[in-house]
């Protein structure tokens, strides 16, 4: 039997389904053995995003989906489950999001899953698709949300960071980007709504349409993150800040955050159009060609493309 390398299999998959195939896949009825296997898989997939309650007031959410911390429909559902717990818990005051995967906070959204895996998801409580729904609900949480970025935060990784209350990055080892325009499609997780309010219109357009990588130091200078700290200090700083917030009076935290949100948060109706534009644009032939070229070079596999998305998206010419 002929075998293929991991990279070759990924390229073949992308070519056969054109990344987002509309062809339905037949799934036979599940046997008892299949159901047991499915339960085991569900447990493993849940472990990709780990919730640690460091105290009743201080939670930590850790992305642990090696090798790249890719986020797709399954991981979005897991994040929603954690979000639901936070929304229902009257004691949590602060939640820190970080990564256990070296080199990656979150690489980006899964571009090799069939489109129907994303478009077929049921809307969230806001009435929006689960991705913009997740971003809005994360922004509106009563608990303070803090993102600790070590490694690459691209696409939905950057968007999750933007939806949170505060962002702190490793000066040496953080990379942020909204690479999507360079790959031929529109970002879908709300950065057009968040970034202009955070960094100003001109810098937002540079980040979004320039589609290049920003290291921790430059991200701090632009206001993309609150601070860039020496890598050895990042964890200690974030933990100390979260512990400090967790010790404060909850009413004061909630009311202060509510008033800041009134002054700074985008209206919810700005979020769904971004997702709709993403779904429409990623199906365009021009986007399919660009993404296929990136896959052939190693997109969604460990290696140079994922480490240097900004450089590789700039290499392609129509």
| pLDDT tens profile 47-94 | 799 999 999 999 999 999 999 999 999 999 999 999 999 999 999 999
pLDDT for position 315: 83
State pLDDT tens for residues 204-249.
999 999 999 999 999 999 999 999 999 999 999 999 999 999 999 9
pLDDT tens for residues 252-279?
A: 999 999 999 999 999 999 999 999 999 9
Per-residue model confidence (pLDDT) at position 13: 41
Task: Sketch the domain layout of the chain as residue ranges.
Answer: 42-315
Confidence of residue 11 (pLDDT cuts 50, 70, 90): very low
Please say if the pLDDT value at position 195 is more than 50: yes
Residue where the block lists tokens 């911390």:
69
Question: 170 versus 17: which is more confidently predicted?
Answer: 170
> How much of the chain, in percent, has pLDDT values that exceed 70?
85
Lowest mean pLDDT among 23-37, 183-197, 216-230, 245-259: 23-37
Q: Which fold has domain 42-315?
A: 2-enoyl-CoA Hydratase; Chain A, domain 1 (3.90.226)
What does the mean pLDDT of the chain come to? Answer: 88
Backbone phi, psi, residue 178, to 5°: -115, 90
| Contact assessment for residue 79 and residue 159, using Cβ atoms and an 8 Å cutoff | no
Long-range contact list for 77-84, CB < 8 A, 24+ apart? 77/121, 77/130, 78/45, 78/46, 78/48, 78/49, 79/49, 79/134, 80/124, 80/130, 80/133, 80/134, 82/49, 82/51, 83/134, 83/137, 83/138, 83/141
Report pTM.
0.86
User: pLDDT category, 141, cuts 50, 70, 90?
Assistant: very high
Q: What are phi and psi of 189, to 5 degrees?
A: -100, 20
Q: Reply yes or no on whether the pLDDT at 45 is more than 50.
A: no
């Amino acid at each position: 039997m002929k075998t293929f390398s991991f990279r070759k299999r990924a390229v073949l998959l992308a070519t056969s389904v054109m990344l987002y195939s509309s062809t339905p896949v037949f799934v036979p009825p599940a046997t008892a053995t299949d159901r047991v296997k499915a339960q085991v898989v569900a447990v493993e997939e849940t472990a990709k995003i780990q919730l640690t309650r460091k105290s009743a007031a201080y939670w930590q959410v850790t992305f642990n989906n090696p090798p790249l911390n890719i986020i797709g429909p399954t991981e979005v559902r897991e994040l929603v489950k954690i979000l639901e717990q936070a929304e229902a818990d009257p004691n949590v005051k602060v939640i820190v999001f970080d990564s256990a995967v070296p080199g990656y906070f979150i690489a980006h959204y899964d571009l090799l899953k069939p489109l129907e895996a994303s478009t077929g998801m049921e809307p969230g409580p806001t009435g929006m698709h689960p991705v913009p729904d997740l971003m809005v609900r994360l922004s509106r949480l009563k608990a303070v949300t803090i993102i600790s970025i070590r490694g690459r935060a691209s696409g939905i990784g950057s968007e999750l960071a933007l939806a949170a209350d505060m962002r702190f990055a490793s000066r040496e080892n953080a990379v942020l980007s909204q690479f999507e325009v360079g790959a031929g499609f529109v970002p879908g997780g709300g950065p057009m709504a968040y970034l202009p309010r955070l960094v100003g219109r001109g810098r937002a357009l540079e980040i979004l349409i320039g589609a290049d990588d920003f290291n921790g130091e430059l991200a701090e200078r632009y206001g993309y993150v609150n601070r860039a700290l020496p890598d050895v200090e990042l964890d200690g700083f974030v933990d100390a800040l979260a512990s400090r917030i967790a010790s404060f009076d909850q009413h004061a935290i909630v009311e202060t955050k509510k008033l800041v949100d009134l002054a700074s948060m985008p209206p919810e109706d700005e979020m769904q159009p971004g997702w709709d534009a993403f779904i429409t644009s990623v199906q365009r032939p021009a986007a399919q060609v660009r993404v296929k070229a990136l896959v052939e070079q190693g997109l969604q596999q460990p290696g140079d493309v994922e480490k240097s998305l900004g450089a590789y998206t700039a290499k392609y010419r129509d």
